[in-house]
Chains A and B, each alone.
Chain A
């Protein structure tokens, strides 16, 4: 145990455990803690050995001799509960895409049903757009008990300000306790506007959502430090609890056309100030290497081990055989061999195809976070200790240049026979 010059037993930061959340810096009564290189650092001569940092650290990164006093961290919750009694229901922002609901919205509706079950409450669809009645019907079929709509010609195109106003107003009128938003370009742009407008917390890119039933808390888990560590985040003292979730993280639930639900409509209160105008929209051309890899049932993914222009036709052929497209890991994009739109992983796209071929992909965490949800994973790799084998449904150890042509041949046989 470390003592300072005054002989006081002081606290120490275990820097390898510190995640840099700064809670201890904020809570230290004497200002003895400072951030250095992304890690908290205690000045032993200022430290008075009170143990506050030890008590508040969420990750046990403080070394201190005293017993952890649990009561020190608990806040007055009794009074809070009453305030939040007005907030009920798990809401999903329903994003409209090409006239229908974006599939991520339905994935979230399915998850919302599970969360609402634990809270014994309802699932609410929040919908903004123009002429979106059909989407409201879909929302009910996918599991919403209520759909609240602001339908206005102004909402025909997405603009941060008009949608921000519409969704903030809906949240304030409907008062859901939870709001889930798909982490699409629109959802990420919008969610922060809404959270800031209503002054509540927003957790980004969650991969896990659960409920503390007693406290009616949403436990939001998201990958950090390049997917090496999962952090669970709470929003205890504000409502609604908001979170964005990437597409394909949760499974799409089946729809039930027989479901019934209520639809409520509200007028749009026009946002302040002048709105921008969209001058032009340029759609990606699919065959320019910008196909949306998240929409295909099968992917053939080239890693650095298969990053060779000569192999491209072979991989493309395998993709054609299995009814999919080619995609890749980050080094392949960096090598200029495939466009960024084809990259799978933390800084690329999250995908969950039915069939995922990993060809010469080692299986780094940053890659895995983007494809773990795939139904079947087949790995081809020449290194028996490649981590990709730990998550593959089945693996083939060998040189892909030999294996892939055989795969094509054998798959063709099966397809003919079946």
Chain B
């Protein structure tokens, strides 16, 4: 199996806080990490390699700094790390991102056909979940989003069976390879790097590709190839809260007062007392 894992370096958004005084982001000390969903995608790739043999290639589009996450991927067991880095890629929205990644995957198809492309369900910073389906569409590969389990890979028939989360339940679906999967967090639990691999990863070079290497059309890369532009930002408006009743002294009184406010709206009270019947 020839597996490609798409990894994105993201700021650890759990640490990004907002300064209430100035309404700006507090960036100091926020570390960059591999998108948590992508560590699961990588783990899934490594499990497939353990089971069926083959190679796992990790690719990432980003600034030179993103090399770190590819080195980490190698420490965990990826065979190669390819960094797509070029000023021409900067400012890409999801359309341009999926174009760039798809072009890179086409390069990787040359020596040997690709079987699987594994992506995270979404990146925790951009949070659009649009890149995976974009890659599948551009390459004409099968598309399986929200994958919670890889049930079976039939190498002879070139078929994959996965379980995916859908509205109201799960679906088990089987389709031809090559395919793009976007994975849920519960698909696999990422392993830890072994010491020898860790040392190996520090000595291994990361392959660097630019716009020329992937034969990218300059009009379709980065900001130029991006139809969507962020035009402005603002803080979410704060709503004004209603009265707060102190239940620490007279609890029943507070509860009564609160319910009176609630049911003062006649339409609402009517619906409520009818227990929401139509």
Contact = CB atoms under 8 A, between A and B. Distances in A.
Given A31-B87, A192-B137, A203-B228, A23 B223 contact: yes
Contact of A406 (B131, B255, B272): B255
- Place the interface of chain B in its size category: 35 or more
Where chain A touches its partner, the secondary structure class is mixed
Interface string B105-135: 0000000000000000000010111111110
Nearest to B186: A340
A161 to B, nearest CB: 7
Interface residues of A, number: 109
A201 B174 contact: no
A199 B17 CA distance: 35
B199 interface: no
A375 B271 CA distance: 12
B245 A192 contact: no
B192 interface: no
Query: Which of B130, B145, B222, B275 has its CB near the most chain A CB atoms (within 10 A)?
Result: B130
A276 B142 contact: yes
Contacts of A297: 271, 276
Interface string A276-293: 111111111000000010
A217 to B, nearest CB: 9
B216 to A, nearest CB: 14
Contacts of B273: 414-415, 418
Contacts of A20: 11, 125
B133 A410 contact: no
B125 A406 contact: no
Most buried by B among A191, A202, A276, A279: A276
Contact of B259 (A39, A192, A411): A411
B20 to A, nearest CB: 10
Nearest to B93: A201
Given A406-B252, A411-B259, A275 B239 contact: no
B207 interface: no
B228 A235 contact: yes
Contacts of A193: 133-134, 136-137, 143
A276 B232 contact: no
A224 B248 CA distance: 38
Interface string A126-145: 00000000000000000000
B156 to A, nearest CB: 16
A69 interface: no
A417 B7 CA distance: 60
A253 interface: no
Interface stretch (A83-91, A146-154, A302-310, A389-397): A389-397
A215 to B, nearest CB: 12
B176 interface: yes
B221 to A, nearest CB: 9
A19 B246 contact: no
Nearest to B259: A410
B205 interface: no
B202 interface: no
Contact of A407 (B94, B128, B144, B255): B255
A232 B231 contact: yes
Contact of B276 (A26, A195, A298, A397): A298
A391 B241 contact: yes
Contacts of B172: 278-282
A201 B232 contact: no
Contact of A237 (B133, B227, B254): B227
A397 B133 CA distance: 47
A312 B138 CA distance: 49
A298 B272 CA distance: 9
B246 A278 contact: no
B230 interface: yes
A230 B235 contact: yes
B251 A403 contact: yes
A100 interface: no
Interface string A16-59: 11111111011100010011111100000000000000000011
Interface of B: 10-11, 13-14, 16-19, 22, 24-27, 30-32, 62-65, 87-88, 90-95, 98, 125, 127-134, 136-138, 140, 142-146, 161, 165-176, 222-224, 226-236, 238-248, 251-252, 254-259, 261-263, 265, 268-269, 271-273, 275-276
5 contacts: A20-B125, A37-B31, A193-B143, A203-B228, A392-B244
Given A394-B262, A410-B259, A411-B259, 16 more contacts: A17-B25, A18-B27, A22-B92, A58-B230, A58-B232, A160-B145, A192-B133, A219-B231, A225-B25, A226-B14, A237-B227, A278-B171, A354-B272, A375-B268, A398-B254, A406-B251
